[in-house]
Amino acid sequence: MNLQTTTTLNNGVNMPWFGLGVFKVEEGPVLVNAVKSAIKHGYRSIDTAAIYENEAGVGEGIREGLAEVGIAREDLFITSKVWNADLGYEETIAAYERSLTKLGLEYLDLYLVHWPVEGKFKEAWRALETLYKEGRVRAIGVSNFQVHHLEELMAEAEIKPMVNQVEYHPRLTQKELQAFCREHEIQLEAWSPLMQGGLLDNPVLGEIAGKYGKSPAQVILRWDLQNGVVTIPKSVKEHRIVENSQVFDFELSDEDMQRIDDLNQNHRVGPDPDNFDF
């Protein structure tokens, strides 16, 4: 495996196992440089969302990065997400167009329903199916969907989601959801894989990291990959963007994988998908 190794989604599209997240990174040169640095250092997947209000800067970073490295748009895998206020058939299609315009792209590789808003997410999914069938987006999926949300969606959907992006880290291992997604060939993807930095001084992770000559962050990201979970750590610092990606030259033992699993407390740092009000 390396930084450009891909997993094959249930529709045959290849998605990199590793990417850059830009949650809460404001528009401006810091963002543009982070995206550009990631591409320069071999990242091929960038994940944003309408609600992050930074799609324009991500687009600029993509254009500058492509020019600098001399690769084509087709070599990248770009994800965005439709926000809750835009869930609905026509609204979601319009939101997709807006995201493309801001990003300055002709298509997205992956478009996600950001949250499972009851009574709205199925109409939004119908819009994603239309965009997909029209060839406007290469893959479609969901974010923050629990097992029951997926079951409800799939009971009526023509096309099943290709990806489910959820909060996933050693304090929230989501084993039941992971098993369900695996069974239905829905690729699980981790947001906040480092628990917003909250795990970096964990003694167990520190001990494991020392054994492999790696950082706790690298150990967590490696654990994601060995669990078959796509991961998109966020950073704006070039040295950290590089360090995060240096996880392909070691392998955690089964015992260490289990020790990390055992850190689970079903603890969320983000909102609960069964109980949110936005």
Q: Which among 38, 40, 36, 85 is positioned nearest to 61, based on CA atoms?
A: 36
From the list 52, 111, 132, 168, the catalytic residue is 52
In this structure, what token pair is assigned to residue 165? 């992006």
111 is catalytic: no
Write phi, then psi, for 47 (nearest 5 degrees). -120, 125
Spatial contact of 260 and 205, defined as CB atoms under 8 Å apart:
yes
Write phi, then psi, for 189 (nearest 5 degrees). -130, 140
Cβ atoms < 10 Å from Cβ of 246: 15
Residue with tokens 């792209």: 105
Within the chain, how many helices (H) and strands (E) appear? 10, 10
Cβ atoms < 10 Å from Cβ of 164: 27
Q: What span, in angstroms and rounded, lies between the C-alpha atoms of 80 and 86?
A: 13
E strands in 215-258? 230-231
What positions carry a catalytic annotation?
A: 52
